[in-house]
Structure 1
């Protein structure tokens, strides 16, 4: 009987100590940073190397992170496709980017599934993230909260907690100013065609004339007859045969933007017609100087050529 009382007393003390320590850990962690504003990774990490090192130490059940290094000829769209994710996911995992132009030897964080990596000041802020990113609540993947609290207390971590928002799109609030500006520009447009990117903006050997020259747009391959949509709302200013572009459409948009859709098999709009973003304007073809069915897409702003990848991604 006396022995049982001793055991009961010891268990009671252990439970009380455990609860006290847990409460202390929670208070300590939640009081580390009281500011509830959205954190910018650029304010937390002084450079990309430190950011990548921290991401590699993250343990969030349901998602893993790998790091690759850009090689000559690589671009972010190619990397995204190879890993079965999209460019939004790469941006969401690499918020310190200043540009969407890949540089040789640049390191890129690659999540195992689509979503966004987000940092919060403390664990209480996790509750509202699904609203911020407009996803179901169970899409917010978190580390083991108890283990995180223990680790934070022991190591006196000075970095906020990282969580992963599955299937979310990145928000400009956490990006660098330069990247946020490019991302906002992209929000104005939509891809005119879902297909395979076969030739990018810039220097290349012409597929027909076999001469080095400048390619003033983006080629998107798709099956003959695939519908093509307007990249943004605007007014059709020209349609018909346009030399090497074959059957083509030109649309004028706000802010001085203008788009051209070339090599069409058929045209389904007329000059002066107002069109909405995504509205059907023609079908994929191979008219003009073309080696197969695809869409040639050119973008200008105030008559200056713009790389379409800056808006289509």
Structure 2
């Protein structure tokens, strides 16, 4: 049954590629393991988790449908007011790579609800790494609330804000700010859907209020790897990413001290340049 399933999926991939579709539908057979499926088709597990609602990648149900991109990469549904340039910044990608992957040109118009494919090799090529700390911005957006004491948006009282809030629309991609191992990927009360990554020096980063989690506990991730999508789950007043940096003594630190200037969240690296620009 396993061999027949593989043959069927190969045929579907060929047909969908010929028809211009970007993914195929695979029905889980008894004994199937997600890790074997992604190995067979050279797709990373975060890609599959990003495009599917899978509670536990270690346990699949027979007959469950899994959607598998023909190429490794991610999908983005165009929202009102989006431009190709802005979408490229959300994925820290080059607009030329997105146009090529979707058969678009500089004169092409995009429309609300249109689904674009962002190839894996295009993602995070324009992220800006702070050389001294090795952290990069986890999302492209606007700072809506700083680290430190502030007026609580729900109670109006003065409370300590343990992270940095970055406002951006629902469904925007979230990336690992530093290499590490996922130690939590679940709903966590006021944080909503959240991810915690443990780094080699004992520090941690938290990514909260997500709409979707694209990693699992125990997974190794690299800086710039897509790990989830922006949302407003938990105690939130609108879509944004709550981002924390926690040192090895479990003390929250101001992320501004570890990230590059917010003016350079996105850096278009040109041959022979210093890597600055593209605010």
- TM-score calculated relative to the size of structure 2: 0.46
| Bigger helix fraction | 1
Higher gyration radius (CA): 1
- TM-score calculated relative to the size of structure 1: 0.41
